[in-house]
């Protein structure tokens, strides 16, 4: 059931807090449980990146919300990720974020300490996640957009070394089709168009040698 204590009188969920960025579910869980040098604290926003299709095959990340569920202040922490959640996840968790980090999505450029703001209007089913500050400075929407364009991807961002070839192929087809942000479907015509364009570019490179 909905915890009314985290919902405003206008039926809107709001959370403004510092990002804690992780590139694996295991690292996030350890920090939530206080088993790392830099534990997650009340009010933080946990951001898991590189766990979408191209990173780990879009793994299910229930363990993070499960760990938060049994911490007294767990409901004050939100979770953002390009991975997915199971149906038993609880709390403020936003998954399937796209473009995924390894496809150049803004989520892959976040850093520890960035100030994020989450607003979810439960009446109109409208939500937004914004970068609103960094290094102790507030950012306007245009400043945040400019920063994310110029900033390099997170230095620890990379595909899992054991990601199987069939999963890599599926992830590539997802991206060529428009990405997970277009829905969990394949746009066959789009994939064929992208493949043809890619072959044309490769052929041009071969002729230029």
Q: Where are the domains of the chain?
A: 4-150, 165-208
Nearby residues of 88 by Cβ (< 8 Å), 6 or more positions away: 62
pTM given for the model: 0.89
Nearby residues of 86 by Cβ (< 8 Å), 6 or more positions away: 60, 62
Q: Which fold has domain 4-150?
A: Glucose Oxidase; domain 1 (3.50.30)
Confidence at residue 197, expressed as pLDDT on a 0 to 100 scale? 95
The helix (run of H) or strand (run of E) holding residue 143 is helix 141-150
Q: One digit per residue, pLDDT tens: the chain, 209 residues?
A: 578 889 999 999 999 999 999 999 999 999 999 999 999 999 999 999 999 999 999 888 999 999 999 999 999 999 999 999 888 888 899 998 988 999 999 999 999 999 999 999 999 999 999 999 999 999 999 999 999 999 999 999 999 999 999 999 988 888 888 777 666 667 888 889 999 999 999 999 999 98
Is residue 86 annotated as a catalytic residue, yes or no? yes
Catalytic residue, chosen from 36, 86, 140, 177, is 86
For 7-58, give the secondary structure using H, E and C. Answer: ECCCCEEEEEEEEEEECCHHHHHHHHCCCCCCCCCCCCEEEECCCCHHHHCC
């Amino acid at each position: 059931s909905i915890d009314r204590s985290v919902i405003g009188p206008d039926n809107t969920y709001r959370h403004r807090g510092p990002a804690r960025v992780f590139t694996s579910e295991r690292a996030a869980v350890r920090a939530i449980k206080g088993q790392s040098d830099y534990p997650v604290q009340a009010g933080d926003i946990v951001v898991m990146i590189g766990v979408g299709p191209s990173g780990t095959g879009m793994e299910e990340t229930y363990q993070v919300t499960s760990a938060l569920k049994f911490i007294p202040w767990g409901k004050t922490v939100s979770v953002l990720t390009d991975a997915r959640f199971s149906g038993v996840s609880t709390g403020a968790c936003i998954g399937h974020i796209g473009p995924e980090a390894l496809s150049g999505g803004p989520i892959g450029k976040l850093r520890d300490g960035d100030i994020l703001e989450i607003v979810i209007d439960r009446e109109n089913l409208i939500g937004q996640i914004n970068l609103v500050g960094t290094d102790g400075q507030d950012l306007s929407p245009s400043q945040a957009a400019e920063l994310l364009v110029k900033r390099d991807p997170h230095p620890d961002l990379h595909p899992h070394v054991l990601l199987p070839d069939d999963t890599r192929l599926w992830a590539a087809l997802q991206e060529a089709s428009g990405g997970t942000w277009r829905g969990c479907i394949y746009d066959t015509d789009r994939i064929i168009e992208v493949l043809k364009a890619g072959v044309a570019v490769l052929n041009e490179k071969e002729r230029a040698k």
